[in-house]
Amino acid sequence: MNHHYLRKTLPTDRGRYLNWLKDEELRRSSFGLEKNDYENDRAWFEALIADEGTDSLVYMDFFMALGEARIIPSEDEEGVGLVSLSVSKEFHGQGIEAEMLDALKLKFKDKYKRLEPVDVPEYKLKAVPAKQRDGRFEILRILAMFMIITMHYLGNGSLLNPLSEDRSPANMAFWAVEALCFASVNVYVMISGYYSVDTRFSLRKFVKLWCEIFFYSVLVGAVCFATGIESLEEHMNLYEIQYLVFPVSNGHYWFATSYMMLMLIAPFLGRGFKMLNKLQHGFILICLLVFTCVSKSLFPMHMMGLEDHGCSLQWFITLYVLAAYIRLYGLPICKKKAGSALLYVVSALLVVPCILLMYGLEAGLVSGAHFTDASLLVDDYNHLLVLLSSVGLFMLFVHMKPITGKAAAVISRIASCTFGVYLLHAHLYLENEWPLWFDVTGPKQEMRPVHLIATVFIIFACGCVVDIIRQIIFNVFESLCDWALGIYYAKKEVWDYLIAGFAATVVSWVTYAIFAMGIFSFMEETWRVVLGNAASWTITVVFAYVINRIFVFHSEKTGFKAVTKEFLEFVAARLFSFGLEEAIMFLFVTVLKWNELLVKMLIASIIVIVVNYILSKLWIFKDPSKDKKKEKAE
């Protein structure tokens, strides 16, 4: 679903427009070929937004500007609007021009009977078909999630006994299935790296992913408390609350934490891939593999500070670089499907005998501390055998024929739910509960395969249903956010002022608590309150000045004298509004005997906010260019 939207060009867009003016291709298609100096460009932009006959708009994706459009009425034909379009160069070739023109036609359908693009090449106005995910890798994504659920079935279901203690056929079989599933996490990351060469960072996608993680962490926790799965009294403490509310930063889902960090670094990696040749890319990849994989595999010992079991950002970066190399240059060791499948199966199944071998080394050959629990390193995601099995499985799907059309659309719809399936069944409060619900340890050995497959399918299907509902909710919420952003940009300065005012209020509360209840707590009551409030007011005024100057009114005054004058004017205005508030409180509370809180919140605060805004707008942060225009006019 496309959530791009149009908004009116604002004075704060000047820097963005001036950057676009520096791009020759944009000038050629929209602004004109002639180059001007900074002051002329600035005058051009001010004239643009002041021209009431021109509709000037910016095309947005969340908070990111994709391009600009201007419409002027045609002088030759009534009801026709002439459209000038330009798109930021980083979004060229994505059909943004055609998309923007369609949005303009819809927005101005009542004002113009027809819109005609001017000086825009015809090929740019052709709609680019929406990119359809390759069904091969979406199937791999689904398969990887089935494998992850299988690992949790075996691990959280207490079916995997240490091979040093239990070498029964059943336990060996469980470990063999576990080894075949180890590649799942790696290939899930490699899919992202494979497509990283062609994708760009999207703030909207990053925020949506964070919200998805937050949604599952908080909502599942709330449902568990409401249904009695977990006791609210036992978990109602600061540690548990922050674990649910901040699931990314505290590692509630270790995979999600590392993956989110990878998303932030991915734009730099993607840009780097385009700057490297095959030899340079390969050298960096080899170095990363040596540091994160080969060394621990050949010398299986715990390395203090470096051992992450393949669960950290450094391993995800290595997989990302590896997958990008496969996309750009291929791999000589996996040129056919048969070889890839063989590499996957053999490498995975070698994990079990390798674990047995390491137990033997620990018990008989090297009993020193360096090899303590070294066998546990073999089943890490960054062990060489696990990596080779991951590469084999990934290349098996690379060599398959692409899946497109309706089949790919259905597969992609299911695959879009896989991350939600993970977040649901791996939740802190559910990961050890659902194995009990399905009685994982109960079935007899001959029924075990059927029970495993059925349980994994049910978990996956339930997770998909929940995530489809979550996607519907998110789509509605995203549309509401775009609607709210439209309202915000319509009166951006006013909303920015209210946001700044709220921030200043929070600073006032916090600083008062610090001074009155902390630093000055040893003083007598009257002095404690007076000095605490004075210190809080001083800091709040300084904070309010800075945030209003930069964030709200975008003052361009420079030099010590000019800035000092501006700051003193701001302090004077705040003192005036403070005195006005005191007068209002005295009149309505002391004289008229009105309710104190009612007067404070609904009368005094509103009047003070309006007065402060007027003084800031018309006096303190007044745009000096308007005075110059008046002088020229006179």
> pLDDT tens for residues 341-366?
999 999 999 988 888 777 665 555 44
Which 8-state DSSP code applies to residue 114? E
Question: Are 182 and 456 contacting, i.e. CB atoms less than 8 angstroms apart?
Answer: no
**Average pLDDT rounded to a whole number, residues 512-541:** 79
- Indicate whether 29 pLDDT > 90: no
CA 387 to chain centre: 28
* Res 48: pLDDT: 79
* Res 528: pLDDT: 75
Instruction: Give the whole-number percent of the chain exceeding pLDDT 70.
Output: 87
* Res 377: pLDDT: 62
> pLDDT tens for residues 265-278?
998 898 888 889 99
d(CA 135, CA 415) in angstroms, rounded, equals 9
Lowest mean pLDDT of 196-200, 582-586, 588-592, name the range.
196-200
- Token output for 196: 């990283």
- How large is the angle between the packed helices 169-181 and 135-156, nearest 10 degrees? 140
- Indicate whether 43 pLDDT > 80: no
- Indicate whether 304 pLDDT > 60: no
Question: Are 577 and 615 contacting, i.e. CB atoms less than 8 angstroms apart?
Answer: yes
Does the domain made of 5-125 have the CATH classification 3.40.1440.60?
Answer: no
d(CA 57, CA 80) in angstroms, rounded, equals 17
Query: pTM of the full predicted structure?
Result: 0.77
| Most trustworthy range by pLDDT among 154-163, 275-284, 397-406 | 275-284
Which among 394, 385, 404, 402 is positioned nearest to 337, based on CA atoms?
A: 394
Which of 509 and 282 is assigned the larger pLDDT?
282
* Res 300: pLDDT: 64
Q: Where residue 490 falls among pLDDT bands split at 50, 70, 90? A: confident
- Token output for 182: 């180890």
Sheet (strand 64-73) strand order: 5-8, 55-61, 64-73, 80-87, 114-117
- Indicate whether 406 pLDDT > 70: yes
Q: What is the mean pLDDT of the chain?
A: 83
- Indicate whether 369 pLDDT > 50: no
d(CA 411, CA 138) in angstroms, rounded, equals 6
Q: Where residue 33 falls among pLDDT bands split at 50, 70, 90? A: very low
The domain limits of the chain are 5-125, 135-478, 492-629
Pairing of strands 64-73, 55-61: antiparallel
| Most trustworthy range by pLDDT among 20-29, 113-122, 578-587 | 578-587
Residue 115's DSSP bridge partners are: 81
Question: Are 575 and 614 contacting, i.e. CB atoms less than 8 angstroms apart?
Answer: no
**Which are the contacts of 527, defined by CB distance < 8 A and separation ≥ 6?**
520
Lowest mean pLDDT of 23-27, 76-80, 608-612, name the range.
23-27
**Which are the contacts of 14, defined by CB distance < 8 A and separation ≥ 6?**
42, 45, 46
- Indicate whether 31 pLDDT > 60: no
Contacts of residues 240-248 at CB distance under 8 Å and 24 or more positions apart, as own/partner, are 243/428, 244/217, 244/218, 244/428, 245/214, 245/217, 245/218, 247/213, 247/214, 247/216, 247/217, 248/210, 248/213, 248/214
Contacts of residues 404-410 at CB distance under 8 Å and 24 or more positions apart, as own/partner, are 404/132, 404/134, 404/135, 407/135, 408/132, 408/133, 408/134, 408/135, 408/138, 409/132
- Token output for 507: 């600073």
- Alpha helices (H) along 163-294: 169-181, 183-195, 203-227, 232-235, 238-245, 254-275, 278-289
DSSP code string of 402-434: P--HHHHHHHHHHHTTHHHHHHHHT-TTTTTTH
- Alpha helices (H) along 196-253: 203-227, 232-235, 238-245
**Average pLDDT rounded to a whole number, residues 369-396:** 77
Which of 65 and 197 is assigned the larger pLDDT?
65
* Res 22: pLDDT: 64
Which among 7, 29, 9 is positioned nearest to 87, based on CA atoms?
A: 29
* Res 370: pLDDT: 46
**Average pLDDT rounded to a whole number, residues 462-483:** 92
